[in-house]
Structure formats: structure tokens, C-alpha cells
Amino acid sequence: MKNIITIALIFILPLVAYFIMNKNSDGITAVAKDNGNPNILVFTSTMCMDCKKMKGLLTEIEPAYSSRVNFTHINALDNNKQVKEQIKKYNITLVPTLVYTDENGNEKNKTEGYIEKEQLISEIEELING
């Protein structure tokens, strides 16, 4: 009986942790604004260490560019229709992924995985300046 309980806990605890971590997930945390600015779609997951590092980097960089670029954060693990459509549209296969789109929503570039601050700034500047 002790072994059965141990085995059950090994399988149940990770599932409980997963649902607790994603309980507050609202999928797309900010909708891309239609203000004539280019957009950066940030696909992440709460279970991803590189996503957490990227979130810290974006928290540092976003204020400097918020008047010229719209940032839209998307939890790729969310099971809602809008998120699934975005994942399919931009062929998201891993997180973190940043999709850079012009003001009309046309994809200009995409970076997959964690990128350093200098590269992110360079990508944003290239998006802004065309």
C-alpha cells in the first residue's frame, strides 16, 4: 500500500503543480493595439526557465520602446481558441519565441529561444526603422 501511495504522489503532484502554476493564465495578456505601431508577439510559458529570463529582460526593455512598439504577451500553454490560432498562424514550435510584425500585422522576423539584450534591442530597432 505504501508503494502505491508513493507512486500515486509521483504522478499526481506534478499535475497539481502544473494546474496551480497555470491557474491565473489568461492567454493573451495584452491585445495588440491598432495604433499604427509595429508589434512584438511574445510567446512564453510559465513552466519555461528561458521564458522567465526573457520576461525579466522584456520588463527592463519594454518601457523604452512602449511608445513605438506594441508588446503582446501570449501564454502558449493556454488552451483558448485565440491562442491556438496565433500559434498556428506563426508556426510556434518552442518558447520563448518573439514574432516581430509590422503595423499591418505582416511577419517581419522571428526569434526562437532566449536572446541576449543586445540582440533584442537590435531586432526592435530594425523593426522600428524598417
pLDDT one-digit tens code per residue, 29-60:
544 456 789 999 999 998 899 999 999 999 99
Instruction: Indicate the average pLDDT of the chain.
Output: 85
Note if the pTM is more than 0.85: no
Q: Domains in the chain, start-ordered, CATH in brackets?
A: 25-129 (3.40.30.10)
Average pLDDT over residues 97-113: 95
- Secondary structure of the chain in the HEC alphabet? CHHHHHHHHHHHHHHHHHHHHCCCCCCECCCCCCCCCCEEEEEECCCCHHHHHHHHHHHHHHHHHCCCCEEEEEECCCCCHHHHHHHHHCCCCCCCEEEEECCCCCEEEEEECCCCHHHHHHHHHHHHHC
CA 41 to chain CA centroid, Å, is 7
Tell me the pLDDT band of 24, cut-offs 50, 70 and 90.
Answer: very low
C-beta of residue 45 within 8 angstroms of C-beta of residue 29: no
